[in-house]
Amino acid sequence: MFGNLFGKFSKDLAIDLGTKNTLVYTEEKGIVINEPSIVVVNARTDEILAVGEDAEKMVGKTPSHIRAVKPLVEGVISDFEVTEKMIKHFINKVHSDSFTITPRPRMIIGIPLDITEVEKKAVEDSAKSAGARKVHLIEESMAAAIGARLPVSEAVANMIVDIGGGTTEIAVISLGGVVTSRSLRLAGDVFDNNIIEYMREEFNLLIGNQVAQNIKIKIGSATPLKDSLEMEVKGRDLLNGLPKAVTINDTQIREALSKSINQIIDSVKTTLEKTPPELVADIYEQGIYLSGGGALLRGLDKELAEATKISVRIVDDPLTSVVRGTGILLNDAELLDKVLAPGEEEEL
């Protein structure tokens, strides 16, 4: 009875706790939070100074007793306490916008595919201490596929490749479950590091992560472009410590990224090799779907299509597909029951 009563008044939440971005979705309003997964902490007092967008502005500019913490690394929680505080902060922000009575909400949270029991429990516990009444965990690949409106509960193969900041998750889904999968701890952050390394080796130029990410987004690509792109990059000359600017082009950045891109492509191929033939036939018909921020890298879809001989599509709004898929489950108990992460079924 109380469950129903709470259910009626509380705002249940769908959360994509990403390495790079945290998104929160409510049934009533859709996506209500979409901010970087960063928290700025005063190390002397343990006080939280800023979270999300506000915290991002401070990265690299803090004095020594103030730390900018990214509580998730490679898709999993690395700092439990800070994660809990971050979730709490975002939930308060959601609830402060409304005048309704808001008892403890139910939360559905996306988790990576190859997460350990301990890592799973960390997600559950941090959500509970942040105020969740009940926590359901769902695999992010499944959520991304649901967000892309793929027929996940039918007897047909859906292949989804989600390239985030920390992990690339490759999954073949059929009849509400993941049939074959591969999870790589290689995604957008590694691309950025590849660019940092390239700039150091080729130009003796030291650049930060933010600059590297800008280069990737502005001129990065996985396949040769029709029109060449170039940009000026500023950093520190490692030889004399002084500021220096160099101009780089898409060919150079493609070279910097090629090893990582090939690793992702090889993993997709390996996953296809492990997939039962009937399902491979389906994938050949349906194509491969790309989601996550990494899906936006120029020409990645084309390169993957050429390597696999299968058509590749980028899902609509790839940066929000996981949270939108998780959000759909807030109001679809039947589908939620079918697609909960393994080991979570008894939670209902």
Ligand X SMILES: Nc1ncnc2c1ncn2[C@@H]1O[C@H](COP(=O)(O)OP(=O)(O)OP(=O)(O)O)[C@@H](O)[C@H]1O
Q: With CB under 5 A as the contact rule, which of the stretches 11-19, 83-91, 253-261, 334-342 interacts with Mg ion?
A: 11-19
Provide, rounded to whole angstroms, the least separation between the CB of residue 188 and Mg ion: 10
**Rounded to an integer, what is the distance from CA 165 to the centroid of its chain?**
6
Q: Which does 52 bind (CB under 5 to 8 A by kind): ligand X, Mg ion, none?
A: none
The one among 13, 41, 297, 340 contacting ligand X by CB under 6 A: 297
The one among 164, 188, 220, 325 contacting Mg ion by CB under 5 A: 164
Q: Which is nearer to ligand X, 159 or 315 (CB)?
A: 315
Q: What residues between 214 and 243 interact with ligand X by CB under 6 A?
A: 216-217, 220
Instruction: Give per-residue burial for 238-271: e unless 16+ CB within 10 Å, then b.
Output: eeeeeebebebebebbbebbeebbeebbebbeeb
Q: Is the dihedral of CA 103, 12, 57, 189 positive or negative?
A: positive
Contacts of 132 (CB under 8 A, 6+ apart): 104, 105, 106, 107
Q: How far is CA 20 from CA 131, 179, 240, in A?
A: 23, 27, 33
Report which DSSP code applies to 315: P
Q: Which does 254 bind (CB under 5 to 8 A by kind): ligand X, Mg ion, none?
A: none
- Per rule CB under 6 A, is residue 299 in the interface with ligand X? no
- Per rule CB under 6 A, is residue 132 in the interface with ligand X? no
With beta carbons less than 8 A apart as the criterion, state whether 171 and 150 touch.
no
Q: Which does 187 bind (CB under 5 to 8 A by kind): ligand X, Mg ion, none?
A: ligand X
Sheet holding 48-51, edge to edge: 48-51, 39-42, 66-69
> In whole angstroms, what is the distance from residue 90 CA to residue 88 CA?
6
> In whole angstroms, what is the distance from residue 23 CA to residue 33 CA?
5
- Per rule CB under 5 A, is residue 299 in the interface with Mg ion? no
Q: Is the dihedral of CA 254, 257, 261, 263 positive or negative?
A: positive
Provide, rounded to whole angstroms, the least separation between the CB of residue 249 and ligand X: 17
With beta carbons less than 8 A apart as the criterion, state whether 148 and 291 touch.
yes
Q: How many residues bind ligand X (CB under 6 A)?
A: 22
> In whole angstroms, what is the distance from residue 157 CA to residue 140 CA?
17
Q: With CB under 5 A as the contact rule, which of the stretches 10-18, 35-43, 170-178, 243-251 interacts with Mg ion?
A: 10-18
Q: What residues between 251 and 290 interact with ligand X by CB under 6 A?
A: none
The one among 18, 105, 147, 235 contacting Mg ion by CB under 5 A: 18
The one among 83, 126, 141, 167 contacting ligand X by CB under 6 A: 167
Q: Which is nearer to Mg ion, 18 or 147 (CB)?
A: 18
Q: Which is nearer to ligand X, 6 or 271 (CB)?
A: 271
The encoded tokens of residue 340 equal 């909960």
- Per rule CB under 6 A, is residue 142 in the interface with ligand X? no
Q: Which is nearer to ligand X, 6 or 188 (CB)?
A: 188
> In whole angstroms, what is the distance from residue 109 CA to residue 327 CA?
10
Provide, rounded to whole angstroms, the least separation between the CB of residue 213 and ligand X: 5
Provide, rounded to whole angstroms, the least separation between the CB of residue 29 and ligand X: 20
> In whole angstroms, what is the distance from residue 160 CA to residue 150 CA?
9
- Per rule CB under 5 A, is residue 293 in the interface with Mg ion? no
Provide, rounded to whole angstroms, the least separation between the CB of residue 322 and ligand X: 7
Residue numbers at the binding site for ligand X (CB under 6 A): 18-21, 75, 164-167, 187-189, 213, 216-217, 220, 292-294, 296-297, 319
